[in-house]
């Protein structure tokens, strides 16, 4: 009998505790609907002005309906491609050439001979310096989305976001190697590319640098396809990159530092050769919300050119 009484009193006490806990919970819910753990992206869009060490010095409005890509050659001449057209400017920003193309061009590169390499989504087209057709290379396949091209005196490299691979071409347009497939022998981890942003460039040491955007990583390969080194910075803060696929575009400064642009958090930054954050070129406040596809180029004076596809401008930034 005594044992039953103890059990009964314990149950009553437990019920009283549950009632008070429930009342406290619902009373707290009524006081505020704010989730204290909710991550606010707006807080990251504000950047301390002291961290922004570049200023916008000029703009060029290209005569293209939808500008997509930008490149600068060894004479600081500026090339812009996009919907059905390529436009060329001299170093002062004056238009000196324009020519039509059959569809939209998703990236552009100019070699040391001023030959123009254009991505036509699933294949590359080569133009002479005057814009006339030199060669049309073979279509890769129906999945191909060529998003970046880099050239040397011997090779042409193309990043294919659709097939998640980099192709090494000879100068006649023949594919001689595929670089970056997951491979334990070469050390390549494989590319994670959730959306069509996949950039590459030739670094200061003549090696190939690729962005692995899903890993927020930079990967350095030799021309035999071997992974030499890599670094990654995953963070919502200025020190790194976040989201499904960032950085979306990269360019190279003369000291080997990388200029990077992002989508989601629309910002342009500079990272040192080993990946450490250095400074901000342009904050999210500089762009329309939702802007993506901020292609980048750098001239011989280390001025940074940002193609803003929403404002349809080439925006030129210089160190303060």
Which residues of the chain, if any, have pLDDT below 50?
1-39
Predicted local distance difference test score (pLDDT) of residue 37? 34
Residues 177 and 28 both lie in one domain: no
Residues 244 and 282 both lie in one domain: yes
Residues 263 and 285 both lie in one domain: yes
Predicted local distance difference test score (pLDDT) of residue 44? 74
Select from 213, 210, 173 the least CA-distant residue to 196. Answer: 213
Confidence (pTM): 0.86
Predicted local distance difference test score (pLDDT) of residue 77? 98
Predicted local distance difference test score (pLDDT) of residue 20? 38
Q: What is the CATH number of the domain that holds 224?
A: 2.120.10.30
Residues 206 and 260 both lie in one domain: yes
Predicted local distance difference test score (pLDDT) of residue 186? 73
What three-state secondary structure class fits 286?
Answer: helix
Cα Dmax for the chain? 104
Q: What angle do CA 283, 312, 147 make, to 5 degrees?
A: 80
Residues 34 and 78 both lie in one domain: no
Contact 68, 295 (CB under 8 A): yes
Write out the two tokens for 114. 């001023």
Select from 263, 104, 283, 126 the least CA-distant residue to 195. Answer: 263
Contact 25, 279 (CB under 8 A): no
Contact 130, 153 (CB under 8 A): no
Predicted local distance difference test score (pLDDT) of residue 182? 87
Torsion of CA 156, 317, 79, 113, to 10 degrees: -50
Residues 29 and 49 both lie in one domain: no
Residues 9 and 158 both lie in one domain: no
| Phi, then psi, of 73 in degrees rounded to 5 | -95, -175
Count of domains observed in the chain? 2
Residues 27 and 48 both lie in one domain: no
Range of the domain at 145: 43-319
Residues 33 and 157 both lie in one domain: no
């Amino acid at each position: 009998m005594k044992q039953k009484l103890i059990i009964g009193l314990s149950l009553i006490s437990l019920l009283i505790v549950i009632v008070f806990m429930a009342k406290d919970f619902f009373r707290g819910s009524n006081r505020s609907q704010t989730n204290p753990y909710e991550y606010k992206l707006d807080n990251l869009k504000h950047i301390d002005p002291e961290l922004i060490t570049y200023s916008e010095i000029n703009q060029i409005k290209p005569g293209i309906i939808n500008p997509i890509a930008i490149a600068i050659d060894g004479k600081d001449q500026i090339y812009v491609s996009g919907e059905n057209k390529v436009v060329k400017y001299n170093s002062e920003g004056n238009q000196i050439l324009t020519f039509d193309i059959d569809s939209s061009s998703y990236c552009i590169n100019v070699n040391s001979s001023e030959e123009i390499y254009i991505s036509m989504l699933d294949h590359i087209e080569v133009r002479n310096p005057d814009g006339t057709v030199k060669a049309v290379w073979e279509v890769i396949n129906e999945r191909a989305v060529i998003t970046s091209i880099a050239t040397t005196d011997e090779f042409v490299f193309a990043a294919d976001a659709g097939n998640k691979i980099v192709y090494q071409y000879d100068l006649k347009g023949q594919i001689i190697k595929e670089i970056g497939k997951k491979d334990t022998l070469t050390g390549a981890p494989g590319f994670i590319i959730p959306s069509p942003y996949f950039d590459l460039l030739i670094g200061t040491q003549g090696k190939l640098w690729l962005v692995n955007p899903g890993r927020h990583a930079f990967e350095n390969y030799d021309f035999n396809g071997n992974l030499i080194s890599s670094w990654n910075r995953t963070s919502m803060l200025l020190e790194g990159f976040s989201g499904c696929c960032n950085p979306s575009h990269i360019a190279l400064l003369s000291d080997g530092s990388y200029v990077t642009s992002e989508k989601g958090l629309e910002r342009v930054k500079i990272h040192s050769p080993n990946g450490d954050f250095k400074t901000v070129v342009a904050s999210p406040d500089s762009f329309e919300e939702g802007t993506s596809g901020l292609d980048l180029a750098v001239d011989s004076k280390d001025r940074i050119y940002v193609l803003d596809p929403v404002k349809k401008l080439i925006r030129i930034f210089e160190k303060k």
